A = this chain, B = another copy of it.
Amino acid sequence: MTQSGMFDYSNLFASNAPTSTRSENLHAKYDFAVAYPDPDTLPLNELIDSLKIAIDREGRDLAYYPSPLGLPALRQLVSDKLARDRDIHVPAEDIVLTSGSGEAILMLIQALTNPGDVVLTEEYVYSGTLRQMKLFGSDVRSVPCDDDGLIPEALEDVIRKAESENKPIKYLYTIPCFQNPLGWTMSLDRRKNILEITRSHGIPILEDDCYVDLRFEGEDITSIHSLDDTGQVMYVGSFSKIVAPGMRLGYLVAPQEVRQRALSFKAGAANQFAALAVQEYLSSHLYSHIDDHNQALRLKRDAMVSALGENFGDAAEWTVPSGGLYIWMTMPEGTDLAAFQQQAFDEGVGYQNGTMFSPEGTGANCARLCFGHPDTKTITDGIAELANIMGRHGIIK
């Protein structure tokens, strides 16, 4: 008991349990902070109609606790899709449905890392994944990238350094398509090169392909998984981007010995109710829905690129991605978009600065600007407003 009369938990917590600062995602008037998809293309009525069909057929099974692997019919749909779109050939029994790709990654982190183990990432990496890696004590080391993805020589340097310290390297985590937050897609040559380098050092690859369906121009590049026939590549994907984040459905493909261990850390099966709706809906609408969504995204990207050109001119550089939900903006060295982020939010424009994505906390002169959720007019107005705010505060001279 503490003096206040309240029960004292202070000596009871696990040594790795942080005092979490996970917070709600607050929305600025112009919200470019979070990578949400387009709300106008959400197939809401179609999902309900699909759910009705699926429930009429097999709704009584909701009284059962689902298999820990998740709804078999949706696993079969994933198996078919991966074969068709990513040249990945795995049976439905080898696929685990998860609560978003985030749960899949969390399971793999727990299956593979002890505190202090080294894991490798790209120069900037999705902040949620970074948080999960650090929660379990990973020593996260980033590898420099260029517009084609991870730089092979840099990867070898980082690996050699960790090896010289006798640190076990557990995996390389990569988002090779529309990298979050950088936006590039890794070239085929780089994929082969990276695979070869990591293989020679006994390091598996965790390929996070959750944005791959959001391509609105250019040609697909095959998955890293498809270039390997030794089981070196673990693969995760998601329906959050092509159906809706609120459906919380993703999936995991990995060799049996990895999959079984990862499954130990799973909190029950993926939501059966959502899985029934998504499976029935996608069984007939998969590609038409992706096309609709991507056409909307392309217009939004174009609107953001135009607005950046009109309002920022020479004050910044930015990527022009062929897919995905975000643009990476770089301002001159010394610009502190980290310190300015709250001020911009308070004045109506949300973004996430580079330090949120950097294992080493660098990148204060960079920001990720997401264009998936706002409509084109909001994008145009919001980027102009961001430039105004930055001008008023002397960020843009």
Contacts and interface: CB of A to CB of B under 8 A. Distances in A.
Interface stretch (A61-69, A74-82, A384-392): A61-69
A267 B264 contact: no
A68 B12 CA distance: 24
Contact of A265 (B15, B19, B66, B135): B135
A354 to B, nearest CB: 21
Contact of A14 (B17, B113, B232, B267): B113
* Binding site secondary structure of chain A: loop
Question: How many copies of this chain does one complex carry?
Answer: 2
Taking each of A8, A99, A199, A270, which has the highest tally of chain B beta carbons within 10 Å of its own beta carbon?
Answer: A99
A275 to B, nearest CB: 9
B100 A17 contact: no
A64 B36 contact: yes
Contacts of A20: 260-261, 263-264
A246 B272 contact: yes
Interface string A178-191: 00000000000000
Nearest to A169: B12
Contacts of A1: 199, 202, 230
Given A114-B14, A265-B135, A271-B271, A246 B51 contact: no
A92 interface: no
A47 B247 CA distance: 16
A247 B273 contact: yes
A75 to B, nearest CB: 12
Contact of A22 (B37, B202, B264, B277): B264
A397 interface: no
Contacts of A21: 260
B34 A62 contact: no
B62 A44 contact: yes
Given A1-B230, A14-B114, A170-B12, A65 B22 contact: no
Interface string A197-210: 00100101000000
Interface residues of A, number: 92
A125 B109 CA distance: 29
Contacts of A103: 267-268
A102 interface: yes
A21 to B, nearest CB: 8
Nearest to A373: B63
A356 B270 CA distance: 24
A24 interface: yes
Contacts of A106: 267
Contacts of A228: 7
Contacts of A247: 62, 271-273
A267 to B, nearest CB: 4
Interface of A: 1, 5-15, 17-22, 24-25, 27, 34, 36-39, 42, 44-45, 47-48, 51-52, 55, 59-69, 98-100, 102-103, 106-107, 110-114, 135, 168, 170-171, 199, 202, 204, 228, 230-232, 240, 244-248, 255, 257-258, 260-261, 263-265, 267-274, 277, 373
Given A12-B204, A13-B112, A34-B65, 5 more contacts: A9-B257, A11-B202, A17-B264, A36-B64, A62-B244
